[in-house]
Chain A
Amino acid sequence: MHPAFSVVFFTTATGAGYGLLALLGVLGGFQIIPLDFWLGFIGMGLALGLIVAGLLSSTGHLGRPERAWRAFSQWRSSWLSREGVASVTTFIPAGLFGIGWVFFGSSGGWVTVAGLLTACGAVVTVCTTGMIYASLKPIAQWHSRFTLPGYLIFSAMTGSVILNALLQGFGRGSTAILAFSLLLVLLGWGWKLATWRYNDALEIPTNANTATGLAGGTVRTLEWPHTEENYLLKEMGFRIARKHSARLRQITQCVAFALPVFLLAATFTLPWPFATAASLLAAIVQFAGMLVERWLFFAEAKHTVTLYYGR
């Protein structure tokens, strides 16, 4: 599948944004994160900023973005429509929580309820994003039990690493949250390795025989219907990543998981300014690494239409 940058950035940014938003909603609502105007302001601003930037980026993928409002109508059948509805609905409790927690400096009561509703909305939205991909049968690498948990884990992972960086930056670092984010990075790393292992061993029942209805023997492409690449090949016959997939997987492992693990572990032992720097660096490096991971998620996925082209 062609990895359009608008969609790669969209899923990575909103994943991190909703992860951070959910954690702020729960931890802020229950006063586990101390009340601090600037911490709350920048935290909520970062979470909502990532979400808005991602959603705006996703409209860049559309052929007719001025009609995007229509996408809220088919929530009964379409995961993409559900994602639109869930993402916009989540802004309501998120806005209330932000006002209560950041501007009124209060938690408990309705602010806690708004925080919890925000977290629920964030989780639901990430689920709908994951289901867009997990529900597509023609793409076996996506239509698997690894896709939806992957989106949830990576969202929580990137969100918690950013939250840790934020707390460290305000000198309010918490060992518990640092350990939590470190564990999530390890979980994410393990999940990605398991996903690749599963995809590499995947035996897809659909082949050139079932695609053409020609039973038995071998079906070899003699001639394409066209001499140049068409929409189908540009959009779904993307092959660059498969050529370099081993190297790109190494880059992903290194930048999205190994370096953040090292930097977060270093945060435990380093003194103040260095610990903060290591935490900030972990968040930035991981976001870049997750862009590579998401790029590979698209580029390594193989659509059944490529069977008609002998690819």
Chain B
Amino acid sequence: MTCLPSQSGKKLGLVIDLDTCVGCQACVTACKEWNTGGHMAPLTDIDPYGGHVDGVWFNRVHSYEHTTEMGGRTVNFPRSCLHCETPACVTVCPTGASYKRASDGIVLIDEDKCIGCKLCSWACPYGAREFDTDVGVMKKCTLCVDRIYNDNLAEEDRVPACVAACPTSARHFGDLGDPQSAVSQLVAERGGVDLMPELGYRPTNKYLPPRAHTTRAASVAAPALEPVRAEGGFLGWVDRMLSN
């Protein structure tokens, strides 16, 4: 049933550090590479070398300019399924294809039951679900359910592909239901936030806001060029002649 299960308390999810993400898109390509052969395979690409490229991706990295009174900065922002605690994408599903696992809170789609009505993608405020027009079913992030429990992989590789690929350790994976876990501690320490908390979906994934601007650091910028003053005399005459 697409009714939400009573939870075991385990809430697997990601913590994404907006301070250290450099927007390199490595997580995006690693996700695509793993998942196009994984649980929800294939992640179809339509017209991949043509003028109207389209295709299914579970993870997309946006770039924003965040301007406050402290100044402006570029923030790279990875966006994927947040594995919400009250995911409307699951409850709106008419067929039971969408479900939330009681054991670890991962939100998944049973592709064999999906009728491709697209209502779940309308119900998700974060744009986490993408429709595969080629197969006719909806697809979404699986939190690499086929990696994290995979006994065939070395233990250190049993993390989502995006986490394994991140070169700046901006992505962290763990149990957010356990207040003692490393990810929960990180969220507490850095003031991790929910996206669109006002909508009440209670996302499991948390985002760590960029650290505050500091005034302590030495200025590394080159000094500003001095303006050229209009001069009299010979140099002034040369300046006027060359300026014409």
Q: How far is the CB of A237 from chain B (nearest CB, A)?
A: 9
Q: B94, A136: Cβ atoms under 8 Å?
A: no
Cβ distance A222 to chain B, nearest Cβ, rounded Å: 4
Tell me the smallest distance from the CB of A310 to a CB of chain B, in Å. Answer: 8
A212 interface residue per 8 A CB criterion: yes
- The answer on a CB contact under 8 Å between A232 and B127 is yes
Cross-chain contact B94 with A304 (CB below 8 angstroms) = no
A222 to B66 CA separation, bound complex (whole angstroms): 10
User: Across the interface, do B96 and A73 meet the contact criterion of CB distance under 8 Å?
Assistant: yes
**A-contact 0/1 string along B72-100, CB 8 Å cutoff:** 00110101000000001011111111000
A70-90 contact mask (Cβ, 8 Å, vs B): 1 or 0: 111110111111001000000
Taking CB atoms, residues of chain A closer than 8 Å to B127 are: 232, 236, 305, 308
B54 proximity list for chain A (CB < 8 A): 228-231
Asked whether A308 and B122 contact (CB < 8 A) given A62-B116, A230-B130, the answer is no
Is B195 in contact with A65, judged by CB distance below 8 angstroms?
no
Interface residues of B in 1-39 (CB under 8 A from A): 1-4, 18, 25, 28
With A71-B115, A74-B93, A77-B2 as known contacts, state yes or no: A210 contacts B56, CB within 8 Å.
no
Q: Does B188 contact A (CB under 8 A)?
A: no
* B165: Cβ under 8 A from any A Cβ: no
Complex-state Cα separation, A122 to B88, whole angstroms: 26
Which residues of A have CB within 8 Å of B132? Answer: 63
How far does the Cβ of B162 sit from chain A's closest Cβ, in whole Å? 13
Interface residues of A, count at CB 8 A: 59
Task: Indicate if the CB atoms of A214 and B209 lie closer than 8 Å.
Answer: yes
Looking at A63, A224, A309, which has the most chain B CB atoms within 10 Å of its CB? A63
Q: Within 8 Å CB of B196, what residues of A? A: 206, 210-211, 304
In the complex, B170 has a CB within 8 A of chain A: no
Residues from 154 to 174 in B contacting A, C-beta threshold 8 Å = none
CB distance from B65 to the nearest CB of A (A): 5
Of the listed stretches B142-150, B197-205, B219-227, name the one at the interface; the rest are far from the partner chain: B197-205
Contact B209 A1 (CB under 8 A): no
Q: Would B88 and A231 count as touching, CB distance under 8 A?
A: no
Query: A1-B122, A137-B125, A138-B124 are known contacts. Are A63 and B95 too (CB-CB below 8 A)?
Result: no
Q: A137-B199, A305-B126 are in contact. Are A73 and B67 (CB under 8 A)?
A: no
Number of interface residues of B (CB under 8 A): 70
**A106 CA to B210 CA, complexed, in Å:** 75
Asked if A61 lies at the interface with its beta carbon under 8 angstroms from chain B, I say yes
Report the Cα distance A224→B61, complex, angstroms: 8
| CB proximity of A138 to chain B, nearest CB, Å | 4
Provide the residues of chain A in CB contact with B92, threshold 8 Å.
Answer: 77-80, 132, 135-136
B18 touches A214 (CB 8 A): yes
Contact of B115 among A65, A218, A231, A236 (CB under 8 A): A65
Q: Are B67 and A218 in contact (CB under 8 A)?
A: yes
Give the chain A neighbours of B93 by CB distance below 8 A. 74, 77-78
The minimal Cβ–Cβ distance linking B194 to chain A, given in whole angstroms, is: 7
Q: Are B53 and A84 in contact (CB under 8 A)?
A: no
- B66 and A214 form a contact (CB under 8 A): yes
Contact mask for chain A residues 284-305; partner B; CB cutoff 8 A; 1 contact, 0 none: 0000000000000000000111
Within 8 A of B (CB), among A205-238: 205-206, 208, 210-232, 235-236
Q: B101 in the interface, Cβ–Cβ < 8 Å? A: no
Candidate in B67, B94, B131, B133 with the most chain A CB atoms within 10 angstroms: B94
A223 is contacted by which of B1, B53, B63, B197 (Cβ under 8 Å)? B63
CB of A9 to closest CB in B, whole Å: 16
B-contacting residues, A180-222, CB 8 Å: 205-206, 208, 210-222
Taking a contact as CB atoms closer than 8 A, the residue among A68, A76, A213, A216 that contacts B18 in the complex is A213
Counting CB contacts under 8 A, is B238 at the interface? no
The answer to whether A70 touches B68 (Cβ under 8 A) is no
B117 touches A70 (CB 8 A): no
* A117 smallest CB distance to B (angstroms): 24
A77 cross-chain contacts in B, Cβ below 8 A:
1-4, 90-93
Q: How far is the CA of A70 from the CA of B1 in the complex (A)?
A: 12
Evaluate contact between A219 and B52: CB separation under 8 angstroms: no
Q: Which of B94, B123, B207 contacts A70 (CB 8 A)?
A: B94
B131, A303: Cβ atoms under 8 Å? Answer: no
Given A65-B115, A67-B113, CB of A217 within 8 Å of CB of B209? no
**Contact between chains at B122 and A73 (CB < 8 Å):** no
The yes or no answer to A281 lying at the interface (CB within 8 A) is no
Most B-side CB within 10 Å, residue of A77, A137, A205: A77
Closest 6 CB pairs of A and B: A63-B116, A63-B136, A217-B68, A305-B127, A225-B60, A81-B94
Q: Could you name 12 residue pairs across A and B whose Cβ atoms are closer than 8 Å?
A: A70-B94, A74-B96, A78-B93, A138-B123, A206-B198, A212-B207, A213-B207, A219-B66, A221-B63, A235-B118, A235-B121, A309-B62
B residues lining the A interface (CB < 8 Å): 1-4, 18, 25, 28, 52-57, 60-69, 74-75, 77, 79, 88, 90-97, 113-119, 121-127, 130-133, 135-138, 193-201, 207, 209-210
